[in-house]
A and B are shown apart, each in its own frame.
Chain A
Amino acid sequence: MLSPELGHYALALACVLAGVQGILPLIGAQRRNARLMALAPGLAVGQLIALVCAFACLINAAVTDDFSVQNVAANSAVSKPLLYKITGVWGNHEGSILLWALILSLCGAAVAAFGRSLPTALRARVIAVLGLVATGFELFCLTTSDPFARVWPAPMDGRGMNPLLQDPGLAFHPPVLYTGYVGFAVPFAFAIAALIEGRVDAAWGRWVRPWAVAAWCFLTCGIAMGSWWSYYVLGWGGYWFWDPVENASLIPWLTGTALIHSAIVVEKREALKIWTVLLAIGTFSFSLSGTFLVRSGILNSVHAFANDPARGVFILGLLGVVIGGSLALFAYRAPSLTAGGLFAPLSREGALVLNNILLCSICAVVLTGTMYPPFMSLLFDRTISVGKPFFDATTIPLALPLFIFMGFGPMLPWKRAQLWPVLQKLWLAACVSGIAVVVATIRLSGVLPVLCAAAAVWIIGSSITDIATRTKLFRTSFANSVHRARMLPRAIIGTAIAHAGVGITVLGLAAMSQAQHRIVEVPIGTTEHLAGYDWTLTNVTQEPGPNYTAMAATLEVRRHGQLVTVMHPSKRSFNSQNQTTTDVAIHTNLMADLYGVLGDRHGPDSNPTYVLRLHYNPLAPWMWLGALVMAFGGALSLSDRRVRVGAPQRARSSTATVSVS
């Protein structure tokens, strides 16, 4: 029943519904026609249902091995495990665009479902803008990358998936990352709606922020998952390569982080309105451009999608309409938006402005580094590669002040602040950071890692201090403190947790600068010493897998003669793709990763030698753990009563509620 033709029809239907969703509510909002505006939620849900149907058809084709569908024939095979048949649907260009459209329609339906408290005209416009963007993507899908195209004659077996993608981490990385990317379509739609209405106020800031935070949480998780995947699948021992595609996800994350902070100022103080609107447009624009760059072949990257300039031209046109159109609207309407509340440079607003300046500077640096090679190639016909030294040298000096101001920003009062009282509260965190400098100087080499480690401790310390101050920890009874903590708005706890997450990640990054590794070529029975561990290669065996054969090593790791772990790094040869992948063995105790990679086999069969790569990665898990903590903090602030109820919470008098309960 779920035939590819039905899927194709459902996709076309979704495209038409999205087009109607994009036009009628806009006209309705302009003419104050309640009936046209009321169409918006229904159309958004209808589009979602159609796309779910289309997606189900594609999954069905992949699961039932329908190799007459070109996409399935090109990316799947009978021998592929079921999980990867399903997840392989979005592991290729056509399927991932369909997933993209599905998530976009999900955003539209979410605004329809959760946006009941919005003014009717605003909700109609937001849904309409989402519909217009969706129309573009669905047209792209239908015209240049049809996932349901058939082939004749149908092959007996598919060509199989890239074995690197046959991994649970990567199976769920794209949906999470795309939800982050696409989620920023909602703040974008809010920005466009506000520009059409010509009004940005505190209420707008309050509505837009949860959507931005939700998208930000997904993007954070998505980036972390991608980084983790490259760490344990690619087997290079690295976690971030400043690859253009990685940067393409980092850039919207940076502007998105700026957005969730500047939206606070709009909500609380009605300032930074134009800037916030621009950030909302910019973040989604960067998300879109990232997709375009990855798929056009303009950038050199390890993430190779099938490159097709014709597709590139279509996406560029789509980008021109979406980004160009929204920025033209911005140029036309933004000058008439009125400026809001005034504030002193030293205040919560001031700290948030500084946060925005620094985040956007880092973003500009990353953008420059990413776009420099193709632009140099275009303008001056010179080939240049920009790598880690550039990014390290430029981003860290900008990130350090950001980390330092992150510490006291949340403790500054609005409008006008005095530095001294805040510093008094933070003396303990400052002392701990001072100790951290000493400890880091002993343990770490290099100035930047030491400074980063100290900054990380400072962030974590000040986040704890913030909560401790607000709950009067140790200044009143413990029960009272717990009660106060429960009465704190979740947004404040969420902020502290997310900031602490940044600290955890930065600590991991600083420690990873001290990672040690060694490449050796050894016969069986050799022991190598690295980072205080003795690594012994005891055996290498051949093992068959479902669609590959593996050469697996047994690596015993000892410390002071005591067995720590037995690791089994292996190397898989995939028959159908004539490709090999390395299966890294990682042993972690959360403070450090022992990381072993088995390389090639050399020498005669009687006495072969094996290439081994051994890594000692201190605090490596903290990098991704920190990202999860950040996302958890964001999610916690989403569960704030203010967001759930949609009404500002009245200020509580702090002592009146403290009672024996």
Chain B
Amino acid sequence: MIRQSRWVGPILLIAAILAAWEIAVRATNTPRWLLPTPSAVFQTLVEDRDILLPNALVTLYEVALGFGCAVILGVGLGIAVYRSPTLSRVFYPIIIGSQTIPVPALAPLLLVWFGIGLLPKIIVTALVGFFPIVVNTVEGLRATDRDVINLLRSFGASRGTVFRLAEFPSSLPFIFAGARIAVAICVIGAVFGELVGARAGLGYLMTRAMAQFETPRLVAAILLLSLMGTGLFAAVGLVESALLPWRKYTAVRGHMERDGAETES
């Protein structure tokens, strides 16, 4: 019942917006190329599925590879920064500072360097997804309870054992919070990479549709991208609850998680 009522509100709102959109477009006789009706978009989704789906899969593939690289790089560098004071002093400010570079704007440069293929898309995707993961990894590791660390040390635990038994597990909720944000913006990164120049993918399809004033197909592609982002966000959440089953008990008590307020918003 509770689950159901959580979804009723958003669904009703979306339905109302779609209905208003449909009525407004029809009432004003707006041409299809300027703003298609939701029904026209839906029709395109069905009729053009043989074009849309393979291209969506290309984008999904880029997102998956880029996100995978972002997780490995982000968690790895986060751990390195946490464990080495030198890296923390030298690298961490640079990582934070690098965020002033609008990463999607690097896409044209990467195109020049690496051509029109898969690689520049994966690099852009990995670069945009990397930041929230590395920051959350470092913050999560730093938030480890000092008393827990001392407890393990008093039992005679080595630094590696403390990391394995306390620091890494207690950082996992933070890492997952970062990964959920990262996976959603990875979709943006991949599309940006495709918009600049590509041979396939939803971004590529959008540039084509734009040039040909096939606005319904453009909107259909946007819709698919939004679905992809939502689905991936939910998928990371599912992986988290599968890997961290204890989280559902601490949600109320909030013992070791200080990230709750940020992640749920």
A and B part of one assembly: no
Residues of B at the A interface (CB closer than 8 Å) are none
Residues of A at the B interface (CB closer than 8 Å) are none
